[in-house]
Amino acid sequence: MREGLRQLLTGSLDVVGALEDGRALLLAAEQLKPDVVLLDITMPQLNGFDAARQLAKVSPASKIVFVTIHADPAYVREAFRAGATGYVVKTAACADLLAAVTAVLSGQRYLSRELAAAHADLLTGDQTAALPGKLSDTLTSRQREVLQLVAEGRTAREIAGVLNISRKTVEFHKASIMRLLGLRTTAELTRYALEHGIVGPA
């Protein structure tokens, strides 16, 4: 999919990178300072929502367009809360993607046609966005990072290495997440992460 998007855009735009996971994306964006970043919601190591929030710190001028299979209204609104200026459903990527990039570069917002009518307020920037029960309201950024890595099957030691924290801190965060979400097992954490688009199906 990533290579297909690259080929779709290369004729009209300079594509400066194509990365496999959210953490690699942040490192590249900090160096390259791209005008536009295309993100999926479900990405390895760091999901698109959290990558978008961190991108605002490392490359604040970059516009963010989500390109994803998720058309659920909750995902669309969470993407704009995280800093998106465009949202394209993958099934419409061929028709919409270049238009989306062109729009956000000119200072406009963009939604795939199939979503635009239901989310007209997002196109005008009217985000009465405090939607209750969203993942970003329930957990801290660090807790979401730990949750994703747990759901990807990484051990506490591996998570500690990725996040540069102690194993004990990882275990503390995991216990806090389980308490906040009312979950009891790693399997339940994984199911929660799948249901909220934090990780994709294996």
What are 142-182's pLDDT values in tens digits?
A: 999 999 999 999 999 999 999 999 999 999 999 999 999 99
Instruction: Give counts: helices (H), strands (E), the chain.
Output: 12, 4
Residues 178/190, Cβ–Cβ less than 8 Å: no
Q: Report whether pLDDT(85) > 90.
A: yes
pLDDT score at 161: 94
- For residue 128 the two structure tokens come to 């009465």
> Residue 153: which residues within 8 A CB-CB, separation 6 or more?
none
Mean pLDDT of the 70-87 span: 89
pTM comes to: 0.77
Inform me whether the pLDDT recorded for 129 exceeds 50: no
Average pLDDT over residues 71-96: 87
What's the rounded mean pLDDT across residues 188-202? Answer: 83
Residue identified by tokens 């389980």 is 178
- The C-alpha angle with vertex 12 and arms to 5 and 44, in degrees rounded to 5, equals 25
Token code pair at residue 17: 């990178």
Residues 6+ positions from 157 with CB-CB distance below 8 Å: 167
Among 12, 106, 117, 11, which Cα is nearest to 65's? Answer: 106
Q: In terms of Cα–Cα distance, which of 33, 34, 66 is closest to 51?
A: 66
What's the mean per-residue pLDDT of the chain?
A: 87
